[in-house]
Structure 1
Amino acid sequence: MSRATPATRMLDGARVAYRLHSYDYDPAADNIGQAAAAALGIAAARMFKTLMIELDGKPACAILPADHELSMKKLAATLGGKHATLLAVTQAERITGYHVGGISPFGQKKRVPVAIDASALEHATVYCNGGQRGLQVELAPQEIVRVLGATVAQIAAAG
């Protein structure tokens, strides 16, 4: 597996300290993020998934714990929109340049507004996709906010 991806190149360019972690990607897993957390031996609350959203007709990105669901209402309000839905797989892949299961919030082909769940800041480091299936980046959540200009808010659904 190549360690150089658009995501790692973006992080390198921004002088972010991070660690890469590889694992055996299971496309049949019920929850890919939780499977990745289990494979790496970390709590699912530290494994953050990247979801591509259509917000009022424009793309946006949500980053939240793998063991939570996204509140579309909270996300829309956070990013100043009214209506949010998940992007179709083909649209998400075209906009990001990544394959589903390997979509990283870093190094996407097109910069879009980003929201990250506030729970990320409860951890010294969190994990998110490194731009390939089976590759995770471990970094300080403050670096995610800095590099992506992400808005921090509670975007995960309650419960």
Structure 2
Amino acid sequence: MTKPDAGGTPATLALQHAGIRFTAHHYAHDAGPGSGPAGYGLEAADKLGLDPERVFKTLLADADGSLVVAVVPVSGKLDLKALAAAVGAKKAVMADPVLAQRKTGYVLGGISPIGQKTSHPTVLDETVELFDTVFVSGGRRGFDIELSPADLIIVTGATIAAIARDR
């Protein structure tokens, strides 16, 4: 298991508390022009030299008035209709970014599906099961966590569904 570090994030602390093995990956985040919500995950894949289908982004959506966490590959987009169906809602829309930050305790581009301030139902795209390990945000920009899909499912209490579509 990865050793605790004094600068741990809520995500790494939650994983350590649960006894889940993970590998921390730091990279130099580029805060310049061209960075932003559409590019945080792709930046991580590029800087870490990874297939973008193996790197997952964490998004918050409002499904019939309830917040839901959606985790999809950075190579694709969230299918809001599929997410709504997966959680038994009529409609889902992207959550307000300020609300997403407040409810998760993380900044945009660093929202991890793990260790959020407020727990929400979580849905992982089914492609997560195609890999031995996957990458998700570690709780801040420039920091990803690598772990097994099974452990990601356990620590988030997630369900699996086809919620991603091609860009």
TM-score, normalization: structure 2?
0.91
Q: Does 1:13 align with 2:17?
A: yes
Match of 2:150 in 1: 142
The number of equivalent residue pairs is 159
Question: Helix, strand or coil: the match of 2:164?
Answer: coil
- Of the structure 1 ranges 22-31 and 9-18, higher mean CA displacement relative to structure 2 is found in 22-31
Distance 1:76 1:134, change over 3 A: same
Question: How far apart, in 2, do the equivalents of 1:156 and 1:140 lie?
Answer: 19
Counterpart position of 1:25: 29
Give the match for residue 47 of structure 1: 55
- Shift of the alpha carbon at 1:24? 1.2
Mapped partners of 1:45, 1:84: distance in 2: 23
Shift of 1:3: 4.2
Alignment RMSD (CA, Å): 1.5
Where 2:139 maps in the other structure, the secondary structure is coil
Query: Which residue identity lines up with residue 16 of structure 2 in the other structure?
Result: D
Ranges in structure 2 where 5+ consecutive residues have no aligned partner: none
| Residue segments in structure 1 that go unaligned for 5+ positions in a row | none
Question: In structure 2, do the counterparts of structure 1 residues 158 and 68 end up closer, same or farther at CA, with 3 Å as the change threshold?
Answer: closer
Give the structure 1 partner of residue 101 of structure 2. 93
Paired with 1:143 and 1:8, the residues of 2 have a C-alpha distance of: 13
Cα displacement string for residues 107-126 of structure 1 (whole angstroms, at most 9, x for unaligned residues): 10111000000101000000
2:124 & 2:30 partners in 1: Cα distance? 25
With over 3 angstroms needed to count, the CA separation of the structure-2 counterparts of 1:3 and 1:135, relative to structure 1, is farther
Q: 1:73-92 counterparts in 2 under 5 A?
A: 73-92=81-100
1:123 aligns to 2:131 (yes or no): yes
Q: Distance in 1 between matches of 2:80 and 2:6?
A: 34
Matched, 1:64 2:68: no
1:60-100 CA-to-partner distances (Å, cap 9, x unmatched) read 10001001011001001111111111111100001001110
Please list every run of at least 4 consecutive aligned residues from structure 1 whose deviation after the TM superposition is greater than 6 angstroms: none
Partner of 1:114: 122
Give, in whole Å, the separation in 1 of the partners of 2:53 and 2:7: 24
Percent pairwise identity: 39
**TM-score, with normalisation over the residues of structure 1?**
0.95
